[in-house]
A and B are shown apart, each in its own frame.
Chain A
Amino acid sequence: MNSISLKFVREPINKHLQKIPLGIIHVIPERCKECNYCIELCPRDVLKVGEERNFKGYRWPVIADGKALDCIACKMCEWICPEFAIFVKEVDRTEWIKS
């Protein structure tokens, strides 16, 4: 967990009850047009430009190195994507990591 700014914030007493959701990012490569909205607007910088190209020559977004568990399923990428090319499925973080 990234806790740079949390250093100065008092810890909530019910913190152990709070669940941070985990988002599993799904991409449809054929639809992507590389507008970079999902990459630039992700609040946790989970995505980066991929290396492969689709049939139109655009590089679709992939998860940046080591950021796979940083997605908190805010779904900003899903909402802003003009192409319906990316979507997030929310799962239970603790159960997902256990299994």
Chain B
Amino acid sequence: MVEVQVLREVVSSESPRDDLIRRERFPHIWCPGCGLGTVLKCYVEAIASSDIPRDKHVIVSGIGCSGRMAGYVNIDSYHVTHGRPIAFAEGMKIVRPDLEVTVISGDGDLVTIGGNHFIHAIRRNVDINVFLVNNFIYGMTGNQYGSTTPLGARSSTSPYGCPEYPFNLPLLAAALGAPFVARWTTLHVRQLAEAMKKAMKVKGFAFIEIISPCPVGFGSYNEMREGMDFIKFFLENCIVDHNADLNKVAISMRPGDPIILGNFVEREAPTYHDLEREVFRKAGWLK
């Protein structure tokens, strides 16, 4: 009887992480091969292995495919207006410093429409975690090119190649003084979950750029029609270098040009909360 069981896979109805996801909403709406599910998996594993109790975790997400993320995690979750999840999270963290506030959203939401919030939140060094899922395109609105589309990449609004340079997000975040800056792909699942765990411990703004496959959006215009095409691209072109020169980590998504990954910046800096308390103390509002 046991031998028969081991020769076949066991058909089950619930997974061991079903306590942290809203299982009645599964299967989720993301396309087959989308990396967002893997990001969700890594985030859930990071929550489960972090020392912070589950009811102290909060997730905020904006608009876009990745905006659905908040709806699938079984913790306090907020789905806010376009481009504003960082602004919302900043406010929440300032009012309730005991919470572990995490923003998971897309590139279009966080650095294109909400670019200013992103810059100023890092400048203030508010103690939130921002996990940016970069799929190089505005996926949900119809595959237009955005601020992270690599130079020359095709999209529905750039059929002959994108004429703009993309953001180099780790350099931007490090230049503004973020205490933790990392970049991983959805293929590097264990490293990504470890980086997320580190980001939750970091005092101050923790930023992880997650390179995600988008076979239906970016891929269909750039000869990567299956999720596996992206994964093979990552397997061939990714280099892990924690001490990389951040001036040279921009992504071109051309075969042969490496995607450099790693935990680039790990440093300590006083957070907005500490500095604000200091001002309050000077003013005599706090003892």
Contact = CB atoms under 8 A, between A and B. Distances in A.
- Residue with the highest number of chain A CB atoms closer than 10 Å, among B13, B37, B190: B37
Contact of B187 (A24, A25, A80): A80
A69 interface: yes
Given A63-B8, A84-B21, A58 B41 contact: no
Given A79-B41, A80-B38, A83-B37, A37 B228 contact: yes
A36 B228 CA distance: 7
A39 B160 CA distance: 35
Contacts of A28: 11-15
B6 A96 contact: yes
Interface residues of B, number: 41
Interface in B154-197: 186-187, 189-190, 193
B227 interface: yes
B18 interface: yes
Contacts of B10: 24-27
A34 to B, nearest CB: 6
A81 interface: yes
Contact of B189 (A27, A32, A79): A79
Contacts of B28: 83
Nearest to A99: B2
A43 interface: no
Interface residues of A, number: 34
A40 B228 contact: yes
B41 to A, nearest CB: 7
A62 B16 contact: no
Given A37-B228, A37-B231, A81 B37 contact: yes
A28 to B, nearest CB: 6
Interface string B40-52: 1110010000000
B38 A33 contact: no
Given A40-B228, A81-B41, A58 B9 contact: no
A22 B31 CA distance: 32
A76 B33 CA distance: 15
Contact of A58 (B11, B32, B34): B32
B37 to A, nearest CB: 2
B237 to A, nearest CB: 16
Contacts of A69: 6
A40 B230 CA distance: 12
A68 B26 contact: no
Contact of A68 (B8, B189, B228): B8
B7 A63 contact: yes
A69 B190 CA distance: 24
A43 to B, nearest CB: 12
Interface of B: 2, 5-18, 21, 26-28, 30-38, 40-42, 45, 186-187, 189-190, 193, 226-228, 231
8 nearest interchain CB pairs? Answer: A82-B37, A33-B32, A79-B189, A26-B12, A35-B33, A35-B32, A25-B9, A84-B15
Interface of A: 24-37, 40-41, 56, 58, 61-63, 68-69, 76, 79-85, 87, 96, 99
